């Protein structure tokens, strides 16, 4: 089937494709996810495996228990890129695969140079820029670590302010094409009003202004549904601000197994339409480089 014949051109994910071969908390082969994306009728699917981590302090407990270290994570990422490029060519007639990385803000102080080096080394198509670490503590891994991050910052509002400050720095310095799960703090912060104070909203909106300036695309991330939240990331107030500021958005299934490919995207489309967002911006591969296309949700 040619891409022109796809039934739903908005059925695209720019953030996902985590698979068991390269990620300890995912399952299955990368090819299984790609085949699932084709079955879902996706014209474009972004493979954005987690960046390797370069400091043993950022290696997860389960990874350490399996004997993984920094060198092993680096090797796995190289293996991911090789397989993703093979699949990109093998399935080129059926789907446009983008090969990227979900970039991290670790190692502290030098992540920009390290992530840009990773992109150059592997000639990656694009960055999903995400913030999972606030001053050395991961915020979406366990409740205990999240509580530690809250305590370290001196409260939930203070954590939110610091988090959006780091996101803004990341957007400005890394210039990612896609900004991942912008209000990830809801994973453990839920609907706590401390995540929606005037000061927090101001800082989150400052991130959107930067994104608008740079043409970055906001990830409408459906993993939030799987975490028990009633909307994707971001929450409704942030989505309204996104609309008002004219920031581009696109879906991300953040799939960690084939069954999650495309999951929640039809619901997320309804969510966007309900808030007056009637288009998404899709990345494409054009003439060997990256292109963009605006697609109607209607
Ligand atoms: Zn993951
Ligand atoms: Zn993420």
The pLDDT tens digits of the residues spanning 120-172 come to 999 999 999 999 999 999 999 999 999 999 999 999 999 999 999 999 999 99
Average pLDDT over residues 275-282: 98
CA 208, CA 210: separation in Å to the nearest integer?
A: 5
Q: Please state the pTM of the whole predicted model.
A: 0.96
CA dihedral 188, 190, 196, 200 (to 10 degrees): 10
pLDDT in tens, 175-217: 999 999 999 999 999 999 999 999 999 999 999 999 999 999 9
* Summary mean pLDDT of the chain: 96
Say what the pLDDT of residue 77 is: 98
Identify the nearest ligand to the CA of 23 by its number. 1
Residue 188 CA: distances (Å) to CA of 4, 5, 139, 165, 218: 41, 41, 8, 19, 21
Share of the chain above pLDDT 70, in %: 98
Average pLDDT over residues 291-295: 96
Residue 86 CA: distances (Å) to CA of 30, 135, 224: 11, 37, 30
Residue 1 CA: distances (Å) to CA of 14, 39, 287: 21, 11, 21
How far is the centre of ligand 2, averaged over its atoms, from the C-alpha of 5 (Å)? 31
H runs (alpha helix) in 70-155: 70-90, 111-122, 143-153
How far is the centre of ligand 1, averaged over its atoms, from the C-alpha of 254 (Å)? 8
Say what the pLDDT of residue 231 is: 98
Is 30 a residue whose pLDDT tops 60?
A: yes
Say what the pLDDT of residue 3 is: 45
Is 4 a residue whose pLDDT tops 50?
A: no
| Dihedral angle sign, alpha carbons of residues 193, 247, 256, 110 | negative
User: Which residues share a beta bridge with 129?
Assistant: 103, 179
Identify the nearest ligand to the CA of 102 by its number. 2
- In the block, which residue shows the tokens 């994707």? 232
How far is the centre of ligand 1, averaged over its atoms, from the C-alpha of 244 (Å)? 30
How far is the centre of ligand 2, averaged over its atoms, from the C-alpha of 19 (Å)? 14
pLDDT in tens, 231-243: 999 999 999 999 9
Full domain range(s) for residue 41? 3-296
Say what the pLDDT of residue 287 is: 82
Q: What are phi and psi of 176, to 5 degrees?
A: -70, 150
How far is the centre of ligand 2, averaged over its atoms, from the C-alpha of 266 (Å)? 21
In this structure, what CATH number is given to the domain that contains residue 54? 3.20.20.140
Q: What is the token pair recorded at 76?
A: 């796995």
User: Which residues share a beta bridge with 291?
Assistant: 284
Number of domains in the chain: 1
Q: What is the token pair recorded at 71?
A: 């060198």
């Amino acid at each position: 089937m040619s891409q022109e014949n796809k039934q739903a051109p908005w059925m695209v994910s720019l953030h996902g494709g985590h698979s068991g071969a390269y990620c300890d908390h995912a399952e299955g082969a990368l090819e299984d996810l790609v085949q699932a994306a084709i079955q879902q009728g996706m014209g474009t699917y972004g493979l954005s495996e987690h960046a390797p981590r370069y400091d043993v302090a950022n290696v997860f407990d389960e990874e350490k228990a399996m004997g993984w270290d920094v060198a092993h994570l680096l090797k796995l990422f190289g293996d991911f890129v090789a397989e993703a490029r093979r699949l990109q060519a093998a399935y080129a007639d059926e789907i446009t695969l983008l090969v990227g990385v979900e970039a991290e803000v670790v190692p502290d102080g030098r992540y920009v140079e390290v992530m840009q080096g990773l992109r150059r080394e592997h000639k990656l198509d694009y960055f999903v820029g995400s913030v999972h670490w606030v001053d050395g503590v991961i915020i979406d891994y366990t409740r205990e670590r999240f509580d530690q991050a809250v305590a370290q910052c001196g409260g939930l509002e203070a954590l939110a302010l610091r988090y959006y400050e780091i996101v803004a720095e990341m957007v400005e310095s890394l210039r990612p094409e896609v900004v991942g799960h912008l209000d990830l703090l809801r994973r453990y912060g839920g609907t706590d009003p401390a995540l929606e104070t005037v000061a927090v909203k101001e800082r989150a909106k400052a991130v959107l202004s930067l994104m608008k300036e740079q043409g970055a695309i906001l990830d409408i991330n459906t993993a939030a549904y799987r975490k028990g939240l009633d909307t994707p990331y971001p929450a409704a107030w942030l989505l309204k601000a996104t609309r008002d500021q004219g920031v581009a958005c696109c879906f991300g299934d953040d799939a960690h197994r084939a069954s999650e490919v495309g999951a929640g995207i039809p619901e997320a489309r309804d969510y966007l339409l309900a808030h007056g967002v009637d288009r998404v911006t899709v990345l494409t591969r054009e003439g060997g480089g990256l292109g963009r296309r605006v697609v109607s949700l209607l």
